[in-house]
Amino acid sequence: MNMGDTAAFLRCTETDCSSQYPISERYYSCPACGGLLEVEYDFRFPSTPDALKAAFRGRKLEDEPAYRSGVWRFHELLPFVPDLSRVVTLFEGNTPIYDAPLSSDYCGLPGLRFKHQGMNPTGSFKDNGMTTGVTAARMSGAAAVACASTGNTSASMAAYAARAGIQSLVFVPAGRISHGKLAQALEYGARVIELEGSFDDAMRIVRELAVESGLYLLNSVNPFRLEGQKTIVIEMLEQLGWTPPDWIVLPGGNLGNCSAFGKALRELSSLGFIDRVPRLAVIQARGAAPFYTLFKSPKRDRLVPVTQPATLASAIRIGSPVSWPKALRSLELTNGVVEQVSENEIADAKAVIGRDGIGCEPASAVTLAGAKQMVSNRIIARDSTVVCVLTGNLLKDPGYTIDYHSRKLKLDTPEGERMILVTRANTPERLPADKAAIRRHLKL
Ligand code: F0G
For 41-72, the three-class secondary structure string (H helix, E strand, C coil) is EECCCCCCHHHHHHHHHHHHHCCCHHHHCCCH
Contact 156, 127 (CB under 8 A): yes
What's the whole-number mean pLDDT along residues 385-393?
99
Q: Ligand 1 mean position to 254 CA, how many Å?
A: 6
Q: Ligand 1 within 6 A of 132 CB? A: no
**Does residue 261 surpass a pLDDT of 80?**
yes
Q: Is the CB of 153 under 6 A from ligand 1?
A: yes
C-beta separation of 179 from 403 below 8 A: no
Ligand 1 touching residue 330 (CB < 6 A):
no
CA distance 200 to 317: 9
Atom of ligand 1 nearest to the CA of 147: 19
Q: Is the CB of 156 under 6 A from ligand 1?
A: no
Q: pLDDT value at position 6? A: 75
User: CB under 8 Å to 301, separation ≥6 — which residues?
Assistant: none
Rounded Cα–Cα distance for residues 216 and 220 (Å): 12
**pLDDT tens column, 416-434:** 899 999 999 999 999 999 9
Q: Is the CB–ligand 1 distance for residue 124 below 6 Å? A: yes
Q: What DSSP state is assigned to residue 162?
A: H
What is the whole-number distance in angstroms between the Cα of residue 69 and the centre of ligand 1?
21
**Confidence grade of residue 70 (pLDDT, cut at 50, 70, 90):** very high
- pLDDT score of 2 more than 50: no
Which phi and psi (to 5°) does residue 10 adopt? -95, 140
Over range 105-117, report the average pLDDT.
Answer: 98
Distance 331 CA to ligand 1 centre (A): 18
Q: Is the pLDDT of residue 5 over 70?
A: no
For ligand 1, the distance from its centroid to the CA atom of residue 253, given in whole angstroms, is 5
| Mean pLDDT of all residues belonging to the chain | 96
Give the ligand 1 atom nearest the CA of 252.
Answer: 14
